[in-house]
Structure 1
């Protein structure tokens, strides 16, 4: 069973950009969204598309299953989106043996920047880069699902960032 173990942080400043790759644009939509599970479709700016199922009640550890799908089928699935389509650019930033993913949101969530780090164990304790701010793991307003469904206050999120 595939497990996703990740921590999320607000990003402070632009220092991370010095170490980031060129980034890839992502559009994502939720086809099914419930409290403990979701079905998401993502379309990447490099031509890939992926379907993801996430199951679990906690933000730190969830079951996650991903499969590559046809881009045209993914585009068609966007018609069935629950809520709004999330738009962001994801950058990969290596730091002290971990690869951080920094999401810079556009559209309705323009101005929000969140960093995630995937872990292999809940006991992993990565060195935090000096460009991350407050940890927001488990704060539902910072989940993509909440943002897509409009259950988070976008203006408030940007004030906190």
Structure 2
């Protein structure tokens, strides 16, 4: 079984914007299925499509995940014909202390939100946080991409 072990953190905007970083990748994504225990997501970049199935897990940190590349044309069609809600973001991959941090700068209705994620091999793996990473939000469901698609950041109090 595929398992994703991931922790999420907020990012200090000022420190992030001062950081020298590689070019980001633009993502559009939408949800074919989006409930409390499972999601089916379609995601596209400028060059590739993906379909991802996520299930429930032992915690917000660990859950079943299967991701497959699909043709970009199929991804565009699936987004258009089968999804209602989605998100848009630019993702940056930042190597730091032996790990790769994926930092998402959200666009559209989630503009202003920047979230850093680190994928681990084990829930108990130790790692050092970069200086631009702040509060952990792994257990805060508002920050799940699937929830941002239906309850965007712009609507939060």
Query: TM-score, normalization: structure 1?
Result: 0.89
Say whether 1:106 aligns with 2:107: yes
How many angstroms does 1:59 deviate by? 1.4
Match of residue 28 from structure 2: 27
Paired residues of 1:38 and 1:55 also in contact (CA < 8 A): yes
- SS for the counterpart of 1:74 is helix
Q: For 1:78 and 1:56, how far apart are their aligned partners in 2?
A: 23
CA distance in 1, matches of 2:20, 2:153: 31
Report the counterpart of residue 149 of structure 1 in structure 2.
150
Report the counterpart of residue 54 of structure 2 in structure 1: 54
What is the CA–CA distance in structure 2 between the aligned matches of 1:14 and 1:94, rounded to whole Å? Answer: 19
In the alignment, what sits opposite 1:82? 84
Give the TM-score, by structure 2 length.
0.91
Partners of 2:13 and 2:114 within 8 A in 1? no
Contact 1:32 1:82 in 2 (8 A): no
Q: CA deviation at 1:66?
A: 0.7
8 Å contact kept, 1:20–1:94: no
**Aligned residue in 1 for 2:42:** 41
* Distance (Å, rounded) in 2 between the aligned partners of 1:136 and 1:96: 21
Question: Which residue number corresponds to residue 135 of structure 2?
Answer: 134
Aligned mates of 2:23, 2:14 — CA distance in 1: 14
Task: Output the CA distance in 1 between the equivalents of 2:21 and 2:125.
Answer: 22
Q: Distance in 2 between matches of 1:28 and 1:14?
A: 27
Q: For 2:22 and 2:114, how far apart are their aligned partners in 1?
A: 16
| Separation in 1, partners of 2:117, 2:14 | 16
Structure 2 unaligned blocks of 5 or more: none
> Offset at 1:13?
2.7
